[in-house]
Structure 1
Amino acid sequence: MIGLIDCNSFYVSCERVFQPRLHGLPVGVMSNNDGCVIALSNELKALGITMGTPAFKLLPLVRSEQIHLLSSNYELYGDMSRRVQSVLEEFAPAVEPYSIDEMFMRFDGFAHEPLVEHARQLHRKVRQFTGIPVCVGVAPTRTLAKLANRAAKKIPAYQGVCVLQGDGLETRGLLQKTELGDVWGVGRRLVERLAMLGIKSAWDLAQANPKEIRCRFSVTLERTAQELRGVPCIEMVDLDEARQRIMTSRSFGKLTDDLDEIREAIRQYGQRSAEKLRRQNGLAKAVLVFLKTNPHRQDLPQCSPSLVLELARPTADSREILHAAGHALQQIYRQGYLYQKGGVMLIDLIDADRQQLSLLEPPLNDAERQRSQRLMDVMDKLNGRMGRGTVRLGTPSPGAAWHLRCAHLTQRYSTRWDELPAALAT
């Protein structure tokens, strides 16, 4: 059996854990640079506000304190996601994060009734230990687990927990009531094409001929149909598999042509990419740096320059990566353009334990490599213990144009010593 745990209004719930005053109030979280609403509480949805609403349109409601909008606090959300995962790992032998607020779990060897109780206990413990409300859906396949999770969230009778058997009457009834557009992996265009064949519900798709579905559409949709019938076709992902590319990119807080400010941004992005690379015990052979102007500002000159530089040797040393990134930026930067975005990508990655060394390389280089690794290990440990950015190469200028606009950013309560919540005695 496969379980899917989905955190309810995750970004808002994270904020409410440390700000109880927000419970019951209409709360939204905005995207980068406070652009639009990307997370909404149920109270905010009840006011008719939808996902993607531009934040500036809601300013009158914010000023009158009818609603509350917060800037994205991704450091807090990432840490709370890890805390939820640590609780889930006590209830299942395998946990696979699907997104920051959704995780698949494997439940093997349970009979139906004990599994229902196990899922309910998990539902309670996550809320108790993290403060985050979740919904739990369990079924024989991942697609059915998605469906069960949706039922747990939408149907009050389930009280946040829905466990489906593959061929049970409950599963059949749910499939018959579920529109195709609500099935995981079935988009709007597919819904229209399937409707022409008389397939209008999840049950219709489950009963369709798999070979015909594959012939007319794709093997992916065939797998979806099989999964709706209770036949597992989608395996859990191996989380230990190293990524082939690592990129860090951000939109700037405002348009800028200042080379020094852009250099600061590229330096920060390069360090972050190097940290991710070391986390997977990898080395990079090349660095790609890119810049972009705002394509929506047709009144301004447009360009999107990029450059790949090969490193002198495969490395995960932030200093070497930033040195190459700086050279690449110097070559691609063009005066007369206002840039909106920049990024650093590490490519041609290899496993550090399988690095092929040259027989002609001097022995001194091996000693340098070991010193480099020790230095990076110390930096990563300090940043892991004291908070990201405690030790870094170069100090970013306050108020630089590349900094994200975060006018309503809350504290990073769980990852920064200087932002820990304070309890005041009365």
Structure 2
Amino acid sequence: MKSVFALVDCNNFYASCEKLFDPKLKDRPVVVLSNNDGCVVARSAEVKALGIPMGVPWFQIQAEARRYGIVAFSSNYALYADMSNRVVEVLSDFSPNLEVYSIDESFLDLSGMSMRTESLAAYGVEIRQRVADWLGLAVCVGIAPTKTLAKLANHCAKKGLAGADGVCDFTTLSPGALSHLFARIDVGEVWGVGRQIKARLAAMGIQTVRQLRDADAETIRARFSVVLERTVCELRGESCLDLQEVVPDKQQIMSSRSFGTLVYERADLEEAVASYIAKAAEKLRAQDSLAGGVQVYIRTNVFKPEVPQYQKGVTVPLPEATADTRVLTQWAIRILRRIYRPGFGYHKAGVMLLDLVPAAKRQLALFDSQGGAGDARSGKLMAVLDDINQRYGRQSLRLAAEGVERSWQMRRGNLSPGYTTSWDGLPVARAGRYG
């Protein structure tokens, strides 16, 4: 049976999530900003039409924002993650084999589906309609015999280069039609071809998708890598990338943020580091792993060279691997106290959990420390902590070391409500007046 993949991609996902619960935003230009409301990281279709680029600092487009009525939102990560999970739940009804590639993209294995439906393109339209009806979000669907081609087909569906109704099915196009289409698409649109690779390909005279597809695979492997060689094969319709249904455990878990204002006091830095450790430890337990090392780093604002600069990071191996937030926090604060220097305005701090191992394969210690991974009470306590936070909202229960007022938190002045993740954020419908 020949392989067939579909890539389902949510259109303007972050901006679409913000528009979803506020009818007044339906035709308004909307942007979503990065941490501390710094740069534009997501744009609605209306903003794209205005020519405002990704990554532009928000303060630089204030005049355009006032002129065109652009509405800006702080990144509402909880909302986006929840809506992403709902999209995946809907998509799982269309294929038993699914890979969540990113927060707004998923691959579906449609091999054999053509026997159950009128056509794969019609199946793609059905997927789009279901997501729109059930969740109110727009998606595009690219269908092809390889994952790389499915990603390219999705690009064609979004840009209107091929297909119709937001669906592009490469399996229905003739070899000649595909060649003609690929000759019009820049090689930089190919999955995995970034700016540096694109520049090197251009030096070889390869500027379009067709030219890359028709390039000598062995030469590409010799000059680049086996990864790009597989890309060439995938563009020719040879499936080299399997569906990754089970996401592999992370080998490192990092948590970091820029502060809303410069932080000078060690106590504030300790609260921030404890908060980041708690978030990383939650992810660590979610994949049923233990950490064998902790790294903490702090730094001043490198974009302000006129102020005193300092940055330092230290990694410490733990006496025994653990997933206990209390133990990890103790070690992180020890590291912070070691690297902290007074007199500097710190702009960012971060933590990383290293040397991760499966909890079931933990190296036993001769003497387990109180509260360590070998203590059954530790596991039970962390399970209760995670359960409460999952049920009532993140950080409903947390260590005192994480602080209360948290003056160091990043700026999120335009944060939308937690429409789907908090009772306080539920949309409210009010009866109108008649007459």
Say whether the fold is shared (TM-score over 0.5): yes
Amino acid at match of 2:123: H
> Quick one: distance in 2 between partners of 1:264 and 1:127?
42
Query: Cα 1:11–1:147, aligned 2, differ >3 Å: closer, same or farther?
Result: same
> Quick one: distance in 2 between partners of 1:136 and 1:182?
16
Q: Which range moves more in the overlay, 53-62 or 4-13?
A: 53-62
Contact map agreement 2:327 2:371 (CA 8 A) in 1:
no
Is structure 2 residue 178 aligned with structure 1 residue 175?
A: no
Q: Which residue of 1 aligns with 2:122?
A: 117
Calculate the aligned-residue CA RMSD, in Å: 2.2
Task: Show CA shifts across 1:224-266 (max 9, x none).
Answer: 1111100112233353421111111111112211111111100
Q: Which residue of 2 aligns with 1:319?
A: 326
Task: Show CA shifts across 1:309-339 (max 9, x none).
Answer: 3334321111111111111111111112111
Q: Which range moves more in the overlay, 206-215 or 112-121?
A: 112-121
Q: Which range moves more in the overlay, 258-267 or 93-102?
A: 93-102
> Quick one: distance in 2 between partners of 1:371 and 1:420?
37
Pairing 1:10-409 to 2, within 5 Å after superposition: 10-63=13-66, 66-111=69-114, 113-155=118-160, 158-165=164-171, 168-169=174-175, 170-237=177-244, 239-358=246-365, 360-361=366-367, 369-394=375-400, 396-398=403-405, 400=407, 402-409=408-415
Contact map agreement 1:387 1:417 (CA 8 A) in 2:
no
Query: Cα 1:167–1:125, aligned 2, differ >3 Å: closer, same or farther?
Result: closer
Contact map agreement 2:327 2:372 (CA 8 A) in 1:
no
> Quick one: distance in 1 between partners of 2:314 and 2:83?
36
Query: Cα 1:161–1:260, aligned 2, differ >3 Å: closer, same or farther?
Result: same
SS in 2 for 1:306: strand
Query: Cα 1:52–1:240, aligned 2, differ >3 Å: closer, same or farther?
Result: closer
TM-score (norm 1): 0.93
Q: 1:64: how far off? A: 6.1
Task: Show CA shifts across 1:258-314 (max 9, x none).
Answer: 111111100110100110010001111221111111112111222221222333432
Q: 1:421: how far off? A: 1.8
TM-score (norm 2): 0.91
Amino acid at match of 1:34: D
SS in 2 for 1:289: strand
> Quick one: distance in 1 between partners of 2:295 and 2:195?
36
Q: 1:63: how far off? A: 4.9
Q: Which range moves more in the overlay, 63-72 or 86-95?
A: 63-72
Contact map agreement 2:322 2:373 (CA 8 A) in 1:
no
Q: 1:425: how far off? A: 3.5
Amino acid at match of 1:224: T
SS in 2 for 1:108: coil
Task: Show CA shifts across 1:26-85 (max 9, x none).
Answer: 111111111111111111122221112211123244456721111111111111111111
Query: After TM superposition, which residue ranges in structure 1, 4 or more long, deviate above 6 angstroms?
Result: 362-368
Amino acid at match of 2:338: Q
Amino acid at match of 1:404: M
> Quick one: distance in 2 between partners of 1:241 and 1:367?
22
Q: 1:196: how far off? A: 4.3
Contact map agreement 2:321 2:373 (CA 8 A) in 1:
no
> Quick one: distance in 1 between partners of 2:278 and 2:382?
11
SS in 1 for 2:94: coil
Query: Cα 1:365–1:7, aligned 2, differ >3 Å: closer, same or farther?
Result: closer
SS in 1 for 2:171: coil
Amino acid at match of 1:403: Q
Query: Cα 1:150–1:347, aligned 2, differ >3 Å: closer, same or farther?
Result: same
Amino acid at match of 1:120: V
Query: Cα 1:15–1:363, aligned 2, differ >3 Å: closer, same or farther?
Result: closer
Q: Which range moves more in the overlay, 148-157 or 192-201?
A: 192-201
Amino acid at match of 2:46: E
Contact map agreement 1:142 1:227 (CA 8 A) in 2:
yes
> Quick one: distance in 2 between partners of 1:43 and 1:334?
47
> Quick one: distance in 2 between partners of 1:396 and 1:314?
26
Contact map agreement 2:36 2:412 (CA 8 A) in 1:
yes
Aligned length: 424
Percent sequence identity over matched residues? 44
Which residue of the other structure, out of 6, 9, 16, is the alignment partner of 1:6? 9
- Gaps spanning 5+ residues in structure 2: where? none
> Quick one: distance in 2 between partners of 1:268 and 1:41?
32
- Gaps spanning 5+ residues in structure 1: where? none
> Quick one: distance in 2 between partners of 1:271 and 1:218?
39
